[in-house]
C-alpha cells in the first residue's frame, strides 16, 4: 500500500514538472527567418512575432519589442513595428560573420525578458573554380586540382565531376581541408576522352568551373623506369652502358627519357642531351666519361610527344669507368740537405700523387731515373712519394713516371744542378691575396723560358717550425691558388721558385693570410723614458702567433685620472712613441691596441707618473746658487784678507801683557822697528805692523838649483794643498797662498827647527846683506811666557847641537806671521812639547795627535811635518801604546783640542840664544 502511494506521488510530480517545463519552453514568440545565412555586405531583415497568450500575460505588444545583437541593444531606428504582434529589424551591409540576434520585451513594462533568438551566419557564395587541371598517375589514380577562389566563410562543397561521351562516372568530393583538389581512386581509361569539371556549392549558391575535356593519356605521369644498371667497357675507358626496364605503359605508349649523371663526389648533375633519348628504349651508352671514375646515374621518362608529366626519377645506379693510362706526369721536386759528406750530397726527391682524374686508375708504383752523364743511369722503383739518394756534386737529370694497370704516364723531368750552380732569374711582382676562401698567388714571369713553377708554403709560428707544403704549376701559369688545407688567421710564408731547363731559379717569398682576424693579444706598452712633459713609450712587436693578420697600425690611448682619453695612431713599423704635452707630476693611464684589417685588440693597461721637475732642473738651480755662495764667500775672504789689519785693530788689537813678560836681554843696538824702512816700503799699507822681520843667515852650501828643486817640490805640494788651504789656514786667520808658500818654506825649515829659533826672530846678519854690528834681539809680541828656553836650556842646547850637527845654519829670509797655522803647529811641536809633557795629561796629547792626523788626512801639504811630528810625539814621548786610543776620538773632539790646546796666534817667539827683544 505504501509502495503504491509512493509511486502515485512520483507520477504526480513528474507530470507537474513536465507541464512546467513545457510552459517554460514554450516561447512567447519567434523570429523569422529561423536560420538565416546572409551574404556579407548585404541587407538583412528579421521579424519577431509575439504570441497572443504572452501578450496578454505580460501586457505587451509589438511596441514593447527591442532587439539585441550579441547582447547589445540595436538602435530603435532600425526597428519597424509591422502590426500589434510583429516587429522587424533591418541590418544594412552585414559585416559580422556570426551574430546572435535576440528579440526581447519588457514584461509588465519593466522586466526584461527574452522572447526568441537566432544566429545570423554571414559569408560569401563560392567563386568559380579556375585553372582546373588533372594528372594521371599510371596504374594508380587521377588527381585534379583547381583554384577555389576567395574564401567563403561558409561550409562549401567542391565536387569533381567526370564523364565520357556516353557514360557518367561517380563524383569525387573534395576533402574539407583540401578544397582545391580531389583524387579519383581509379586509373582512367586511356585513349578515351573524359570531360571533367568542378562544382562548388554552399548556402549562398553554387557555381561550376569550366569543363576540360582530355584524353587521360595526355595527362599521364608514367611510373619511372626501374632496375637501372650501369656497366663499364674494357675496350673504352670513357663509356658506361646503362640499361633499365620501362614502365608497363611503354607497351602501348612511346616514351622519351631524361638521363642525368654525376661523379660520385659531385653534387650537381650533368644531363644527357635530350635529343639522344627522345625515343623509346631500354638502354643507353654514355660517352666522354673520365677513366677510372665512378659515376652515378638516374633516369626518368614521359610520353614521347611531351604531353603529360615526367615520371619520378628512378633509383640511382653507379658504375666505374675502366682504367686508362695516367694522363699527366706527377709533380716533381727535390730538397738538398745542406750537410755535405765526403763529396756527396743527400738529395730528397719528392713528388705528389696524381689526382684520380689524372691517375686514370690505381697507381701501382713510380719509376725514378737519375742520369749523371748520358750513359750513367740509376733506376729506382718506388711505391712511396719520396726518394732520398746521395748524389755527387755533379749535375743530374731526374725523371719520374707513374704506372697503373694500363700504362705509364709521361715523364716528369727535373734538373738537379751541380753544387756550384748559381740560381738566378726569380719571379717578379710576387703577391698573394685571399679570394673566394682561397689563397691566390700571382706573379710576373721572368723573361727566361720557365719549365714550371714550384710553390711552397708553410705556417709562420714562433712555437712550431715551418713545415712546408708545395705544389707544381705549369710554366705558363702566373696565377693560381694554394691547394692545401689552409687555416684562417695563420701567416703563410709563400715561396715561388721558377724552374728552368738548367735548374731552379732564385726563390721569391711573400707573406699572406687566408683570412685575417683581430690580434689575439694586444701589445704590452711600457715607458722607456718619462720626462716632466713627455714620456717615451715602447713596446715589442706582437709575436706572429697572436697577430692573426698584418698589423696595420697601433692605437695608443692615454688619459689622466679625470681627463678625457686621447687616442694616437702609430704606424705599425714603430716600436716606440713619444707622448708630448703631458702635465708634470700627473698619473697617466695608457693602453695600446694593435689593429689588423679585421679589427684590433687592446693590451694591458699601463700607468706612469710624470716627475715634478725635469731632469737637470734641480741642478740648474742648485749649482748657480752654490757658485754664487762660493763666490760671495771668496770675495768675503779676500776682503777680510785685504782688510785684516784694519779688522784686527778694531776687533782684537794686540795688547801685550806686561805682567807675563820679562826681558831676557835687551840689546842696546837693537834697531828700531822703524828702521826697517824697506819693509815698510814694501808693505806700505801697514799691514805688517805686528810682523817681526827675521833674517837668518844660513850657511847653506846647497847650490842654487837645489833650492829651485825644493821650490818645485813645494809648488807641487802647494798645488795639491791649495784646495785645502782655506780649511785650516782660513779658519786660523786670513791665510792665503802666500802663507802656504811660507809654510812650504817652513816645511823645509821645519827640518831645521831644532836649529832655528821659533819663538822669536834673531837676525844674525843684517837685513838684506847688512851685517849688524852686534847681535840683535827682537822682542816677541807674544803673550806666551818665554821662560821655556831659559828654563830648559837643554832644548836650546839640542838646537845648537843640531845646528852644529849640520854644520851650517840655513840662511834664509822669512816674513813671519804670527797667525800662521803652520808656524803654530811647528811651534807647538817643538816648543810646547816639553811643557805639554810635563803639564798636560795624556788625553790632551791624544787630542793633539788627532788634530795632526786630521791635518794629515785633510791636508796633503805639510805631510812631512806631520810625519815628523808624529814620530817625535809618539815615539819619543808616549810610545806606541797610545795609537789605539787616538783612533777612538771623534772629529769634533779633535777640533775642540785644537781650539783649546793650540793658540792660533801671537805665539811666543823664542830668541835663539836665549835673548829677547821686546817689541
Q: How far is the CB of 220 from another protein (least distance, A)?
A: 12
| Cis, bond preceding 33 (omega within 30 deg of 0) | yes
Task: Give the residue with the Cβ less far from another protein, 307 or 340.
Answer: 307
Q: How far is the CB of 185 from another protein (least distance, A)?
A: 8
Q: How far is the CB of 315 from another protein (least distance, A)?
A: 23
Task: Give the residue with the Cβ less far from another protein, 191 or 357.
Answer: 191
C-alpha cell at 27: 516561447
Contacts with 578 (C-beta within 8 Å, 6 or more apart), sequence order: 534, 535, 536, 537
Task: Give the residue with the Cβ less far from another protein, 186 or 433.
Answer: 186
Contacts with 454 (C-beta within 8 Å, 6 or more apart), sequence order: 333, 470, 471, 472, 473, 496, 497, 499, 504
Residues of this chain that bind another protein (CB under 8 A): 163-170, 185-193, 195, 211, 213, 215, 217, 251-252
Task: Give the residue with the Cβ less far from another protein, 211 or 362.
Answer: 211
Q: How far is the CB of 193 from another protein (least distance, A)?
A: 5
Alpha-carbon gap, residue 736 to 744, rounded angstroms: 12
Strand order in 44-50's β-sheet?
A: 29-32, 44-50, 86-91, 79-81
Q: How far is the CB of 170 from another protein (least distance, A)?
A: 7
Q: How far is the CB of 143 from another protein (least distance, A)?
A: 16
Q: How many alpha carbons fall within 13 Å on the CB side of residue 301?
A: 28
Contacts with 289 (C-beta within 8 Å, 6 or more apart), sequence order: 238, 239, 240, 295, 321
Task: Give the residue with the Cβ less far from another protein, 199 or 276.
Answer: 199
Q: How far is the CB of 95 from another protein (least distance, A)?
A: 43
Secondary structure (3-state) at 645: helix
Q: How far is the CB of 250 from another protein (least distance, A)?
A: 9
For the CA atoms of the chain, what is the radius of gyration?
Answer: 68
Angstrom CA distances, 664 to 163, 222, 419, 778, stand at: 182, 167, 115, 11
Task: Give the residue with the Cβ less far from another protein, 250 or 792.
Answer: 250
Q: How far is the CB of 281 from another protein (least distance, A)?
A: 17
DSSP strand pairing (317-320 vs 294-303)? antiparallel
Task: Give the residue with the Cβ less far from another protein, 189 or 771.
Answer: 189
Give me the helices (H) in 520-616, please: 544-547
Give me the helices (H) in 26-101, please: 52-58
Task: Give the residue with the Cβ less far from another protein, 102 or 223.
Answer: 223
Task: Give the residue with the Cβ less far from another protein, 138 or 329.
Answer: 138
Q: How far is the CB of 167 from another protein (least distance, A)?
A: 6
| H-helix or E-strand spanning residue 335 | strand 332-336
Alpha-carbon gap, residue 661 to 906, rounded angstroms: 13
Supply φ then ψ for residue 859, to 5 degrees: -125, 120
Contacts with 583 (C-beta within 8 Å, 6 or more apart), sequence order: 533, 560, 610
Task: Give the residue with the Cβ less far from another protein, 215 or 410.
Answer: 215
Cβ neighbourhood burial of 238 (10 Å; 0-12, 13-18, 19+): middle
Task: Give the residue with the Cβ less far from another protein, 166 or 841.
Answer: 166
Alpha-carbon gap, residue 912 to 789, rounded angstroms: 9
DSSP strand pairing (220-221 vs 130-137)? parallel
C-alpha cell at 631: 763666490
Instruction: Give, to the nearest 10 degrees, the angle between helix 891-901 and helix 842-858.
Output: 110
Q: How far is the CB of 224 from another protein (least distance, A)?
A: 20
Count the neighbouring beta carbons within 10 Å of the beta carbon of residue 846: 22
Q: How far is the CB of 136 from another protein (least distance, A)?
A: 13
Task: Give the residue with the Cβ less far from another protein, 171 or 565.
Answer: 171
- Cβ atoms of residues 573 and 541 within 8 Å: no
Amino acid at each position: 500500500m505504501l509502495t503504491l502511494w509512493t509511486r502515485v506521488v512520483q507520477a504526480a510530480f513528474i507530470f507537474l514538472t513536465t507541464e512546467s517545463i513545457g510552459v517554460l519552453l514554450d516561447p512567447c514568440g519567434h523570429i523569422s527567418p529561423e536560420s538565416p545565412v546572409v551574404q556579407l555586405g548585404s541587407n538583412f531583415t528579421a521579424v519577431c512575432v509575439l504570441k497572443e497568450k504572452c501578450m496578454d500575460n505580460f501586457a505587451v505588444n509589438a511596441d514593447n519589442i527591442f532587439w539585441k545583437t550579441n547582447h547589445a541593444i540595436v538602435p530603435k531606428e532600425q526597428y519597424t513595428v509591422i502590426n500589434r504582434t510583429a516587429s522587424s529589424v533591418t541590418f544594412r551591409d552585414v559585416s559580422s560573420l556570426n551574430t546572435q540576434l535576440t528579440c526581447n520585451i519588457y514584461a509588465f513594462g519593466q522586466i526584461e525578458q527574452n522572447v526568441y533568438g537566432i544566429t545570423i551566419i554571414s559569408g560569401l557564395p563560392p567563386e568559380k573554380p579556375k585553372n582546373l587541371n588533372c594528372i594521371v598517375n599510371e596504374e594508380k589514380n587521377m588527381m585534379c586540382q583547381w583554384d577555389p577562389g576567395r574564401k567563403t566563410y561558409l561550409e562549401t562543397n567542391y565536387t569533381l565531376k567526370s564523364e565520357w561521351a556516353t557514360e557518367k562516372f561517380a563524383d569525387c568530393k573534395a576533402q574539407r581541408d583540401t578544397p582545391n583538389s580531389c583524387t579519383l581512386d581509379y586509373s582512367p581509361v586511356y585513349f578515351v576522352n573524359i570531360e571533367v569539371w568542378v562544382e562548388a556549392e554552399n548556402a549562398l549558391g553554387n557555381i561550376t568551373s569550366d569543363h576540360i575535356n582530355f584524353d587521360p593519356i595526355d595527362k599521364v605521369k608514367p611510373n619511372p623506369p626501374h632496375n637501372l644498371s650501369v656497366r663499364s667497357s674494357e675496350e673504352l675507358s670513357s663509356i658506361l652502358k646503362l640499361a633499365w626496364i620501362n614502365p608497363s605503359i611503354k607497351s602501348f605508349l612511346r616514351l622519351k627519357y631524361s638521363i642525368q649523371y654525376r661523379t660520385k663526389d659531385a653534387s650537381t648533375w650533368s644531363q644527357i642531351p635530350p635529343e639522344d633519348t627522345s625515343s623509346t628504349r631500354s638502354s643507353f651508352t654514355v660517352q666522354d666519361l673520365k677513366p677510372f671514375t665512378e659515376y652515378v646515374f638516374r633516369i626518368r621518362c614521359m610520353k614521347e610527344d611531351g604531353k603529360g608529366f615526367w615520371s619520378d626519377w628512378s633509383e640511382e645506379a653507379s658504375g666505374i669507368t675502366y682504367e686508362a693510362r695516367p694522363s699527366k706526369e706527377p709533380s716533381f721536386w727535390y730538397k738538398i740537405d745542406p750537410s755535405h759528406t765526403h763529396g756527396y750530397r743527400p738529395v730528397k726527391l719528392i713528388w705528389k700523387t696524381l689526382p684520380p682524374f689524372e691517375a686514370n686508375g690505381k697507381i701501382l708504383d713510380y719509376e725514378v731515373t737519375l742520369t749523371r752523364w748520358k750513359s750513367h743511369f740509376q733506376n729506382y722503383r718506388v711505391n712511396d712519394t719520396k726518394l732520398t739518394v746521395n748524389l755527387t756534386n755533379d749535375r743530374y737529370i731526374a725523371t719520374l713516371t707513374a704506372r697503373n694497370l694500363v700504362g705509364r704516364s709521361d715523364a716528369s723531368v727535373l734538373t738537379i744542378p751541380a753544387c756550384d750552380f748559381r740560381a738566378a732569374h726569380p719571379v717578379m711582382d710576387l703577391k698573394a691575396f685571399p679570394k673566394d676562401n682561397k689563397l691566390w698567388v700571382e706573379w710576373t714571369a721572368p723573361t727566361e723560358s720557365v719549365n714550371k713553377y714550384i710553390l711552397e708554403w708553410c705556417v709562420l709560428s714562433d712555437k712550431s717550425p715551418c713545415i712546408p707544403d708545395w705544389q707544381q704549376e705549369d710554366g705558363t701559369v702566373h696565377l693560381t691558388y694554394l691547394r692545401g688545407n689552409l687555416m684562417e688567421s695563420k701567416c703563410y710564408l709563400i715561396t715561388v721558385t721558377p724552374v728552368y731547363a738548367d735548374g731552379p731559379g732564385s726563390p721569391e717569398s711573400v707573406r699572406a693570410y687566408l683570412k685575417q682576424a683581430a690580434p689575439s693579444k694586444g701589445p704590452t706598452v711600457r715607458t722607456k723614458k718619462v720626462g716632466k712633459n713627455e714620456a717615451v713609450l715602447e713596446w715589442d712587436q706582437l709575436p706572429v702567433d697572436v697577430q692573426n693578420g698584418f698589423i696595420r697600425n697601433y692605437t695608443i690611448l692615454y688619459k689622466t685620472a679625470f681627463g678625457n682619453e686621447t687616442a694616437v695612431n702609430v704606424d705599425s713599423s714603430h716600436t716606440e712613441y713619444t707622448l708630448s704635452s703631458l702635465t708634470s707630476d700627473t698619473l697617466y693611464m695608457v693602453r695600446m691596441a694593435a689593429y689588423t684589417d679585421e679589427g684590433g685588440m687592446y693590451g694591458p693597461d699601463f700607468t706612469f707618473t710624470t716627475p715634478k721637475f725635469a731632469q737637470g732642473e734641480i741642478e740648474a738651480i742648485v749649482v748657480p746658487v752654490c757658485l754664487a755662495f762660493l763666490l760671495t764667500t771668496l770675495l768675503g775672504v779676500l776682503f777680510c784678507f785685504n782688510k785684516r789689519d784694519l779688522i784686527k785693530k778694531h776687533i782684537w788689537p794686540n795688547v801685550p801683557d806686561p805682567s807675563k813678560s820679562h826681558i831676557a836681554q835687551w840689546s842696546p843696538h837693537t834697531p828700531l822697528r822703524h828702521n826697517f824702512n824697506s819693509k815698510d816700503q814694501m808693505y806700505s799699507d801697514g799691514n805688517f805692523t805686528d810682523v817681526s822681520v827675521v833674517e837668518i843667515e844660513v850657511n847653506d852650501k846647497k847650490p842654487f838649483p837645489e833650492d829651485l828643486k825644493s821650490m818645485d817640490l813645494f809648488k807641487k805640494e802647494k798645488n795639491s794643498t791649495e784646495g785645502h788651504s782655506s780649511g785650516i789656514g782660513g779658519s786660523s786667520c786670513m791665510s792665503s797662498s802666500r802663507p802656504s808658500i811660507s809654510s812650504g818654506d817652513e816645511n823645509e825649515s821645519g827640518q831645521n827647527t831644532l836649529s832655528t829659533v821659533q819663538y822669536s826672530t834673531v837676525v844674525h846678519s843684517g837685513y838684506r846683506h847688512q851685517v849688524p854690528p852686534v847681535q840683535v834681539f827682537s822682542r816677541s809680541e807674544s803673550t806666551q811666557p818665554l821662560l821655556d828656553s831659559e828654563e830648559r836650556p837643554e832644548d836650546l842646547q839640542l838646537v845648537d847641537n843640531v845646528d852644529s850637527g849640520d854644520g851650517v845654519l840655513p840662511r834664509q829670509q822669512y816674513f813671519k806671521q804670527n797667525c800662521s797655522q803652520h808656524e803654530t803647529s811647528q811651534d807647538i811641536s817643538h816648543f810646547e812639547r816639553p811643557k805639554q809633557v810635563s803639564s798636560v795629561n795624556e788625553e790632551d796629547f791624544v787630542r793633539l795627535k788627532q788634530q795632526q792626523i786630521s791635518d794629515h788626512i785633510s791636508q796633503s801639504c805639510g805631510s812631512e811635518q806631520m810625519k815628523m811630528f808624529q814620530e817625535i810625539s809618539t815615539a819619543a814621548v808616549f810610545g806606541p801604546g797610545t795609537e789605539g786610543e787616538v783612533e777612538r776620538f771623534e772629529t769634533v773632539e779633535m777640533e775642540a783640542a785644537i781650539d783649546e790646546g793650540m793658540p792660533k796666534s801671537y805665539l811666543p817667539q823664542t830668541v835663539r840664544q836665549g835673548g829677547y827683544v821686546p817689541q
